[in-house]
């Protein structure tokens, strides 16, 4: 049974990958696709483009900006699937090397 995982790219700015990093990311994506481990991946706009929305109980509250304030933020992500956590963790290490950034690795429920 396959398991799904998120790999979040951590950066202090967004959209700053240089051509060498983009080439390495493309090669990593191609490897994931060839091995049937790719689900989806994309870059994110910076936290200044975020909005926090809370409509619990019909509150209809929204605020501009990210929920979390700090120097680092999520600048992109991969959604992958593998047969086990160990393989996914190895892919997270490869992702970090490919994008030349720290990553955060999390399993999905289910």
Q: What is the pLDDT of residues 39-80, one digit of tens each?
A: 999 999 999 999 999 999 999 999 999 998 889 999 999 999
In this predicted structure, the answer to whether residue 1 has a pLDDT above a threshold of 90 is no
Q: Which domains are present in the chain?
A: 3-107 (3.30.70.1060)
CA distance 92 to 71: 22
pLDDT at 96 over 90: yes
Contact 10, 110 (CB under 8 A): no
Q: Exposure string (b/e) for 76-104, b if CB count within 10 Å is 16 or more?
A: bbbebbbeeeebbeebbebbbebbebebe
CB-based burial label for 3 (10 Å; 0-12, 13-18, 19+): middle
- pTM of the shown model: 0.92
User: Would you state the pLDDT for residue 110?
Assistant: 83
Sheet with 3-11: strands ordered across: 38-43, 73-82, 3-11, 102-107
pLDDT tens for 26-41 read 999 999 999 999 999 9
pLDDT at 11: 95
Q: Report CA torsion sign: 14, 16, 20, 22.
A: positive
- The answer, yes or no, to whether residue 15 has pLDDT greater than 90, is no
pLDDT over 90, % of the chain:
92
């Amino acid at each position: 049974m396959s398991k799904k995982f998120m790999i979040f790219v951590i950066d202090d700015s967004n959209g700053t990958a240089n051509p060498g990093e983009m080439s390495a990311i493309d090669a990593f994506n191609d490897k994931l696709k060839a091995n049937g481990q790719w689900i989806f991946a994309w870059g994110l706009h910076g936290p200044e483009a975020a909005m926090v929305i809370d409509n619990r109980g019909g509150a209809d509250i929204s605020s501009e900006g990210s929920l979390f304030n700090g120097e680092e933020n999520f600048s992109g992500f991969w959604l992958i699937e593998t047969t086990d956590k160990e393989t996914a963790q190895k892919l997270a290490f490869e992702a970090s090397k490919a994008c030349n950034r720290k990553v955060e690795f999390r399993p999905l429920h289910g």
